[in-house]
Amino acid sequence: MKDNKKFASKEQPTSKKIVIAERDNIGALMEGDKVLDLYINRGEVLLGDVYLATVQNVLPSIDAAFVDVGVDKMGFLHAQDVMGKGALKDKLSPNQKLVVQVVKEPTGHKGPRVTTEISLPGRFLVLMPSEPGINVSRKIESSKERARLKSIVSLLKPVGVGVIIRTEAEGQSEADIQEDLEILLEKWNNIVTAAESLTPPSLIYRDQDLLYRVIREACSEDVTEIIVDTAFALNRVQSLLQNWHMSKNIQVTLYKGNEPLLIATNVHKEIRAALNMKVNMPSGGYLFIQQTEALTVIDVNSGKFVSSATQDETILKTNIEAVHEIARQLRLRNIGGMIIIDFIDMTSRVDKLAIMEELELAIEDDKAKPQVGQLSDLGLVEMTRHRQGQAISEVFAKKCPHCHGEGNIVEDFKFASPTSEGEYRAKAAKMKLPVSGFKKNNNKKQNNNNNNQNNNQQAPQELEQSQPIEMTTENPSVTAQEENKKRNDKKRPNNKRNFNKKQLNEDANVKVAETMITSEDEIKPVIVEQPQPAVAEEAPVEQPAEETPKKTRRPNRGTKTKRQTRAKKATSEEKVEE
């Protein structure tokens, strides 16, 4: 563990410098070759802007209201950010004029978040016109200094105005604090007069330019050099440092190179690296940072770091190095909201405590006030960070027009469609299927079914018509003929195509037997002499049987001989009766 503590304490803070590219509206706080903070003034709505807005909708269901600040997206105003007591409907009404300040810049599809509690930051003080009282920064630990600063501000500030004493006010004289307070009060008076004269929606106040903001926020005792790219910026920086009594230890330099200042100082490399998901660490490990709408996930991997003696030591050193890099990436990328860190699993409880302590120290200088939760058994750490401005990915990157930022493109669904008649014919030609289309085959099947039904209906009609003729005879030979006929009908199928020569021979045999039973010689000449009259009499009875085959199929062979035999039977029976 002693070696691990030595590893953690090796990283000592080096001298810092500030780079201000006024032409690009970008400032950077650098420590060595690494960028710690980026200050960017880009966008239509910036953090700290004060607007004269109008109330559009009041929604009690979500306890909030939407206000028009003059941009495409409406400003979101929560009930907690509205001064006064009572319900939201009592405090706000549609089309009401309201002075609001941006506390969160618009991100993605969300509009800016605004508040009615205006705050104007200065070098040593923060003016709060709507909240009376005096508060002192917690980082000022000396009780005597806290009491001295609080007494000075209480004598200088007007009644009904609140003031927050910043950490930079420690050790400052009463004149410096008074001068800072007078500047802030003048800004507030300008805001009040502009709100009375302008028509909403309109911008009333915007925080001073980038140079003033960077010097106010980033300049501290650790800074040894400030680099600017214009002569005007050089003069302003020198005057500000003289007024704040900070010009002794800081060197101000004017850049005169041919390349842009951000390229000469390698700031552009840090910006490009911050736009990637993978972050390489010096020891060989790496981080994976993935931002989503709900939260940001950071995964720690050991990578090629295998120089330690044991596995536990390798894991601890990788996690400690990852803690410092994660703290820097959160500030550089301006990541806000819920953050989940997946450290490499550690078995020792002492190592887990060391990681949590190192994380608390690493985020101590972060002005976004991150809050760290507990380390779970799976090695996960939950933390939150106050979202202020836009993330670096929203400033320097745009969504892909094809995938819309999702990272993948959905292909067209190529589902199979029903085969058409032309496609079926082409497949039939290749596979040697029936050439006729499947639609025509279906029509033929339906026609065949209908014809079979008609034939089945006509068959019993023919039997009914033929039976009365046979039943009228009382001759015993006729009864024998009917029995033979029934037997032949049972053996014979319904389809007329199956009619064969055997059945014709059976009928002929029956007729010969009939002539032997009657034993009359007159039958022979009757069969030869008068075949036509019997056919004429029987023709109307068997006429439907002749017409039905014409509709569908060719008439069967052998039907003519059968009709002639029936005619012969009828003539012979008449002769017998006579």
Q: How far apart are CA 135 and CA 311, in angstroms?
A: 49
- What was the pLDDT predicted at 337? 87
Lowest mean pLDDT among 46-50, 152-156, 448-452: 448-452
Stated length of the chain: 578
Q: Are strands 371-375 and 251-254 parallel, antiparallel or unpaired?
A: unpaired
3-state secondary structure of 502: helix
DSSP per-residue letters across 22-64: TTTTEEEEEETTEEEEEEE--SSS-TT-EEEEEEEEEETTTTE
Which residue is associated with the tokens 């710690």? 36
pTM over cut 0.75: no
Whether pLDDT at 22 is above 50:
yes
Lowest mean pLDDT among 196-205, 398-407, 533-542: 533-542
- What was the pLDDT predicted at 459? 47
Whether pLDDT at 8 is above 50:
no
Q: How far apart are CA 484 and CA 511, in angstroms?
A: 11
- Percentage of residues in the chain with pLDDT exceeding 90? 21
Q: How far apart are CA 368 and CA 333, in angstroms?
A: 12
Q: What's the pLDDT tens digit per position in 410-468?
A: 888 777 676 666 676 777 776 766 655 445 455 545 555 555 555 555 544 444 444 44
More confident residue, 347 or 431: 347
Q: What is the rounded end-to-end Cα distance, in angstroms, of the chain?
A: 141
- Percentage of residues in the chain with pLDDT exceeding 70? 70
Burial of 418 (0-12, 13-18, 19+ CB in 10 A): exposed
Whether pLDDT at 381 is above 60:
yes
Q: What's the pLDDT tens digit per position in 82-101?
A: 887 888 888 888 889 999 99
Burial 465-490 (b: 16+ CB within 10 A, else e): ebeeeeeebeeebbeebeeeeeeeee
- What was the pLDDT predicted at 384? 92
Q: How far apart are CA 510 and CA 484, in angstroms?
A: 8
The residues near 94 (Cβ < 8 Å, ≥ 6 apart) are 55, 56, 57, 58
Q: What's the pLDDT tens digit per position in 184-213?
A: 999 999 999 998 888 888 889 887 678 888
Burial of 202 (0-12, 13-18, 19+ CB in 10 A): middle
Q: How far apart are CA 95 and CA 111, in angstroms?
A: 19
Whether pLDDT at 349 is above 70:
yes
Q: What's the pLDDT tens digit per position in 455-506?
A: 555 544 444 444 444 444 445 555 566 766 767 665 555 544 444 444 444 4
DSSP per-residue letters across 322-384: HHHHHHHHHHHHT--EEEEEEPPP---HHHHHHHHHHHHHHTTT-TT--EEEEEPTTSEEEEE
The residues near 508 (Cβ < 8 Å, ≥ 6 apart) are 565
Burial of 109 (0-12, 13-18, 19+ CB in 10 A): exposed
Q: Where are the alpha helices (DSSP H) in 198-310?
A: 210-218, 231-243, 261-264, 267-274
Q: How far apart are CA 365 and CA 218, in angstroms?
A: 11
Whether pLDDT at 347 is above 50:
yes
Q: What is the dihedral of CA 496, 498, 502, 504, to 10 degrees?
A: 20
Task: Provide the CB-side half-sphere exposure for 207 (13 A, CA).
Answer: 25
- Mean per-residue pLDDT of the chain: 76
- What was the pLDDT predicted at 564? 54
